[in-house]
């Protein structure tokens, strides 16, 4: 991998392209009435995925970029979950039928902060409101420091079959600097509990670019993580945006790795995981060769949504909870971020949507191009443009940011087919950004490209 390119492009602030257009472009012009119309207009054969946002933690990790808050009183969590169940019922009523569900994802925050019986009630509410297929993937994000045996049992009884465990780093110096002290033994115990309960899909989340992190500490974390034999790894670069996430000001910027150091860490982690037999998938995922995500990558059916890379082929993502984002064929919707205001909207009998984005034909075309670049490191512009009734030449002419990437050898263009060079794949976001008609480089809203 080329360090000269990391130096040239690595400091750019770019989206991760879990949607296009990205969330900063959502507007109040799309509200609850629009969302209701989109829901009631879903085709009879549509199936959906569900995302449930639980915005609570017991303590704040200083690197966190999520919409979450610290809570000590379980009554606040219970009240929020009652609101969540009401929202599920309202959305299902607006759709007007029990739509099929193929994927359910609990995110946060810490979803397993809720009481085990509350988790079971929430799953029962979803099964009542929607037709959750027997084959559905049901995934839960987990903080190993707080998971209990009772919650694992509730997950087993509710059909959970995938768990994503936050690790970030096993280096105690890094852990203290990010306010997340979590031993390897604690994590290993949770993996064992989950597998004994039949939750066999195990993901581990790692982060590079954290304070005091080095290549050596990253590799040590990988070595210890491999002992747990997960199916998948997610490896993210830390996004330091203290202007938007005030708790990140607790991190000493003087001990953050620079762009080249982040590049070296990312490369070291990727190489170690590939040497261990994992397939690199897109920007930041790794999976065993027989895992469904690796198969989807090989078969060019991999998709990208707000949870990152996914095998989910559906066009409908219903988001529940404060700040949750949904995606329908017509566009994107986002709920009220503030928990109290979210609860008031649902209590009043309406939907909690406060902003969104209605897709244009040009957005759909560019979204398809960007998704293929992010998922496959390539895009057949001729084929994609033909499906959208557009000309690839016009699309290439509009992508002025592509020219220096071609000159620098990051991108190869063979007729209408674009491909990211193997040694430049770490710059895939820079290539995708060339087709982003909404990108404003002057607004520092995103994480660094490397």
The verdict on 398 and 419 lying in the same domain is: yes
Which pLDDT value is given to residue 7?
Answer: 74
Residue 329 within a domain: no
pLDDT tens digits, 264-323 = 999 999 999 999 999 999 989 999 999 999 999 999 999 999 888 999 988 899 999 999
The verdict on 175 and 200 lying in the same domain is: yes
Domain count, the chain: 2
The verdict on 144 and 282 lying in the same domain is: yes
Residue 113 within a domain: yes
Which pLDDT value is given to residue 380?
Answer: 97
The verdict on 228 and 133 lying in the same domain is: yes
At which of 320, 352, 371 does a domain end?
Answer: 320
At which of 320, 347, 375 does a domain end?
Answer: 320
The verdict on 134 and 235 lying in the same domain is: yes
CATH number of the domain that residue 433 is part of? 1.10.10.920
The verdict on 297 and 176 lying in the same domain is: yes
438 CB neighbour count, 10 Å cutoff? 13
pLDDT in tens, the chain (450 residues): 566 787 778 678 789 899 999 999 999 999 999 999 999 999 988 999 999 999 999 999 999 988 899 998 999 999 999 999 999 999 999 999 999 999 999 999 999 999 999 999 999 999 999 999 999 999 999 999 999 999 999 999 999 999 999 999 999 999 999 999 999 999 999 999 999 999 999 999 999 999 999 999 999 999 999 999 999 999 999 989 898 889 999 999 999 999 889 989 999 999 999 999 999 999 899 999 999 999 999 999 999 998 889 999 888 999 999 999 999 999 999 999 999 999 999 999 999 999 999 999 999 999 999 999 999 999 999 999 999 999 999 999 999 999 999 999 999 999 999 999 998 988 999 999 999 999 976 665 555 656
Residue 343 within a domain: no
The verdict on 11 and 22 lying in the same domain is: no
The verdict on 419 and 311 lying in the same domain is: no
Residue 254 within a domain: yes
State the residue range of the domain holding 437: 1-17+360-450
Residue 419 within a domain: yes
The verdict on 13 and 28 lying in the same domain is: no
- Cβ-proximal residues to 95 (8 Å cutoff; 6+ apart), any chain: 39, 40, 42
CATH number of the domain that residue 241 is part of? 3.80.30.20
Residue 349 within a domain: no
The verdict on 314 and 397 lying in the same domain is: no
In angstroms, how far is CA 448 from the centroid of its own chain? 16
- pTM here is 0.93
Residue 334 within a domain: no
The verdict on 156 and 270 lying in the same domain is: yes
At which of 269, 292, 320 does a domain end?
Answer: 320
Residue 350 within a domain: no
The verdict on 233 and 371 lying in the same domain is: no
pLDDT tens digits, 210-228 = 999 999 999 999 999 999 9
């Amino acid at each position: 991998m080329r360090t000269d390119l990391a130096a040239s492009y690595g400091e750019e602030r770019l989206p991760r392209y879990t949607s296009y257009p990205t969330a900063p472009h959502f507007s109040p012009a799309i509200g609850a009435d629009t969302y209701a119309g989109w829901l009631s207009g879903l085709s009879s054969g549509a199936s959906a995925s569900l995302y449930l946002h639980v915005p609570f933690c017991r303590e704040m990790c200083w690197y966190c970029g999520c919409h979450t808050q610290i809570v000590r009183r379980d009554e606040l969590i219970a009240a929020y979950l009652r609101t969540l169940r009401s929202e599920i019922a309202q959305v299902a009523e607006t759709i007007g039928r029990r739509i099929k569900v193929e994927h359910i994802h609990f995110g946060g925050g810490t979803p397993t902060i809720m009481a085990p019986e509350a988790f079971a009630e929430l799953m029962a509410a979803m099964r009542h409101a929607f037709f959750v297929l027997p084959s559905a993937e049901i995934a839960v994000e987990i903080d190993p420091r707080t998971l209990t045996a009772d919650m694992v049992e509730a997950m087993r009884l509710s059909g959970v079959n995938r768990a994503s465990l936050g690790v970030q780093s096993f280096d105690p110096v890094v852990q203290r600097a990010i306010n997340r002290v979590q031993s390897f033994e604690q994590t290993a115990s949770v993996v064992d509990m989950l597998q004994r309960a039949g939750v066999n899909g195990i993901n581990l989340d790692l982060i590079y670019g954290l304070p005091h992190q080095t290549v050596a500490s990253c590799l040590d974390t990988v070595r210890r993580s491999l002992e747990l034999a997960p199916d998948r790894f997610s490896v993210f670069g830390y996004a330091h945006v203290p202007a938007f996430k005030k708790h990140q000001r607790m991190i000493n910027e003087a001990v953050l790795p620079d762009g080249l150091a982040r590049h070296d860490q990312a490369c070291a982690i990727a190489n170690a995981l590939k040497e261990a037999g994992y397939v690199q998938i897109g920007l930041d995922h790794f999976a065993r060769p027989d895992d469904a995500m690796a198969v989807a990558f090989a078969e060019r059916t991999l998709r990208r949504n707000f949870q990152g890379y996914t095998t989910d082929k559906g066009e409908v993502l219903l988001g529940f909870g404060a700040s949750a984002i949904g995606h329908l064929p017509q566009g994107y919707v986002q709920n009220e971020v503030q928990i109290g205001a979210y609860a008031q909207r649902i209590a009043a009998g309406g939907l909690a949507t406060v902003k969104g984005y209605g897709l244009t034909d040009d957005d759909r075309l560019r979204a398809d191009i960007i998704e293929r670049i992010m998922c496959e490191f390539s895009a057949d512009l001729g084929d994609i443009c033909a499906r959208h009734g557009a000309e690839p030449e016009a699309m290439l002419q509009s992508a002025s940011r592509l020219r220096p990437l071609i000159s620098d050898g990051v991108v190869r263009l063979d007729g209408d087919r674009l491909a990211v060079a193997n040694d430049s794949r770490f710059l895939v976001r820079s290539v995708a950004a060339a087709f982003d008609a909404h990108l404003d480089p002057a607004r520092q809203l995103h994480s660094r490209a490397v």
